[in-house]
């Protein structure tokens, strides 16, 4: 529930939101920027910042109509943030006049914008008077229409000529809160009953997946602390079953989760099978999150801080029965959960990350036993990080076989590309999956 203006003035939230949006414009992730906000302001600021990022393209186009010469960065950010929040009345978090009044107040209270508070006031008052005409003038601008950078739109048009509109529209919708049931402790039917008793509306959404009607704090989920469920998107829940269904279970089975943080896929593997699982991540702090998640779920894995692309620094020489590589990527498939990503990324990031993915695939392939499988996945909808990456790998590794795989999944409700089993989730993030088998000797 949004704090009242009396208990928490909106101008304070707008000042903090302006700082968060500025941080992203300067290259900081939205998650890190929001985490730096004082706790009393954080929930409101996150909601406002997400709304701003989902409307940032329209806001930039409107600002150019109101002020063709770009003002200083702090002023421009505050002005665009106010326009992003106010331009569409039916979706605005506050009424337009309140937003404008409080944005001007925020401008007056910030040393970086105080001298131009009259300019901010004039632009926003003009916007209120001429809203319909200004919006109509920006309707033909792709940046305003789709609220994504133009380079991103053009790449999607090339990569997915039949689905690019679906991808962009889904990216601007809030994602559902999806749970994964821990089958070692309960089952889907029992947990749905627990949710009903707690008056939390939910529906079954896959073999171990439950979708909530509305997001709730995890502390309100029945037996969350006891490890009955985890929060995990439906597309991400496909990873463990895809890999395990291709294996022949046996004693002493060894699985590597090569980029494991925060541990969702590691724990899912352990919930579904008996195996010795090694979870790697290059970031020590993120490794702590893996361990914390495993502890809550009552599961055990070998968690190591290491660079998966440099096996010589951590590998013990014993080949694995299976490898899961959820490779670093642009995160272009999870923009609905992280709406800052589209404004944080640059065109060059796609090629740089694709090069890292290629390096990881080549480094990990020798660690796989003959006949064993590697599941390559990214939370990206760009083909350079998916289909093209796998095609290049297959061309350069004649001992690799591509098994039936989902391929690229379009984010959103009941929209997908590739082959997805009928019993899988109906609302998921954008993902890519390729199951690669090493040819038996």
Cα–Cα distances (Å) from 322 to 119, 246, 273, in that order, read 61, 9, 12
Has 379 been annotated as catalytic? yes
Q: How far apart are CA 379 and CA 275, in angstroms?
A: 25
DSSP-derived secondary structure for 346-372: -HHHHHHHHHHHHHHHHHHGGGEEEEE
pLDDT digits (tens, 9 = 90+) for 128-160: 999 999 999 999 999 999 999 999 999 999 999
Query: Per CATH, is 241-438 categorized as 3.40.640.10?
Result: no
Cα–Cα distances (Å) from 342 to 55, 146, 150, 297, 304, in that order, read 12, 11, 10, 33, 31
Three-state secondary structure call for residue 291: helix
Residue keyed to tokens 């951590």: 314
| Among 329, 373, 377, 379, the one annotated catalytic | 379
pLDDT digits (tens, 9 = 90+) for 393-415: 999 999 999 999 999 999 986 44
What does the block give as tokens for 225?
Answer: 């602390």
Domains 10-146 and 178-231 belong to one CATH topology: no
Every domain of the chain and the residues it spans: 10-146, 178-231, 241-438
Residue keyed to tokens 């699985």: 255
**Multiple choice CATH, 178-231, 3.40.640.10, 3.30.70.1170, 3.90.220.20, 3.40.50.2000:** 3.30.70.1170
pLDDT in single tens digits along all 441 residues of the chain: 344 444 689 999 999 999 999 999 999 999 999 999 999 999 999 999 999 999 999 999 999 999 999 999 999 999 999 999 999 999 999 999 999 999 999 999 999 999 999 999 999 999 999 999 999 999 999 999 999 999 999 999 999 999 999 999 999 999 999 999 999 999 999 999 999 999 999 999 888 999 999 999 999 999 999 999 999 999 999 999 999 999 987 788 999 999 999 999 999 999 999 999 999 999 999 999 999 999 999 999 999 999 999 999 999 999 999 999 999 999 999 999 999 999 999 999 999 999 999 999 999 999 999 999 999 999 999 999 999 999 999 999 999 999 999 999 999 864 444 444 444 557 899 999 999 999 987
Q: How far apart are CA 176 and CA 213, in angstroms?
A: 8
Into which CATH architecture does domain 10-146 fall?
Orthogonal Bundle (1.10)
- Nearest Cα neighbor of 108 from 8, 4, 18 is 18
Residue keyed to tokens 């994602």: 175
How many Cβ atoms are within 10 Å of 190's Cβ, its own excluded? 12
């Amino acid at each position: 529930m949004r704090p009242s203006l009396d208990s928490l003035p909106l101008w304070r939230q707008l000042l903090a939101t302006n700082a968060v949006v500025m941080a992203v414009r300067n290259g900081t992730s939205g998650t890190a920027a929001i985490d730096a906000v004082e706790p009393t302001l954080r929930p409101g600021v996150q909601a406002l910042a997400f709304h701003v990022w989902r409307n940032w393209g329209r806001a930039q186009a409107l600002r150019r109509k109101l002020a063709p010469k770009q003002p200083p960065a702090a002023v421009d950010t505050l002005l665009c943030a106010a326009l992003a929040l106010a331009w569409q009345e039916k979706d605005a978090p506050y009424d337009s006049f309140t937003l404008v009044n409080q944005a001007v107040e925020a401008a007056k209270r910030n040393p970086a914008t105080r001298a131009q508070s009259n300019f901010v006031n004039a632009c926003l008052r003009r916007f209120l008077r001429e809203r319909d005409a200004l919006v109509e003038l920006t309707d033909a601008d792709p940046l305003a229409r789709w609220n994504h950078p133009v380079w991103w739109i053009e790449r999607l048009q090339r990569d997915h000529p039949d689905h690019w509109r679906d991808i962009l529209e889904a990216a601007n919708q809030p994602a559902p809160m999806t749970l994964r049931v821990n089958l070692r402790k309960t089952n889907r039917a029992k947990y749905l009953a627990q949710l009903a008793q707690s008056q939390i509306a939910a529906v079954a959404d896959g073999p171990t997946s439950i979708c909530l009607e509305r997001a709730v704090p995890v502390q309100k989920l029945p037996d969350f602390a006891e490890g009955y469920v985890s929060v995990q998107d439906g597309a991400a829940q496909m990873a463990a079953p895809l890999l395990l269904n291709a294996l022949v279970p046996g004693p002493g089975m060894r699985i590597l989760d090569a980029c494991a943080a925060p541990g969702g896929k590691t724990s899912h593997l352990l919930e579904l099978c008996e195996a010795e699982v090694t979870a790697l991540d290059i970031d020590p702090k993120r490794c702590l999150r893996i361990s914390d998640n495993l502890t809550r779920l009552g599961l055990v894995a070998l968690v190591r801080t290491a660079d998966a692309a440099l096996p010589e620094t951590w590998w013990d020489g014993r080949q694995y029965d299976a490898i899961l590589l959820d490779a670093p990527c642009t995160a272009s498939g999870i923009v609905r959960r992280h709406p800052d990503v589209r404004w944080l990324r640059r065109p060059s990031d796609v090629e740089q990350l694709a090069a890292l993915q290629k390096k990881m695939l080549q480094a990990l392939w020798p660690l796989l036993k003959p006949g064993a499988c590697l599941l390559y996945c990214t939370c990206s909808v760009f083909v350079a990080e998916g289909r093209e990456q796998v095609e290049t790998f297959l061309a350069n590794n004649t001992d690799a076989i591509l098994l039936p795989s989902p391929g690229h999944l379009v984010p959103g409700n009941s929209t997908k590309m590739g082959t997805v089993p009928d019993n899988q989730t109906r609302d998921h993030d954008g993902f890519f999956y390729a199951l690669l088998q090493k040819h038996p000797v």
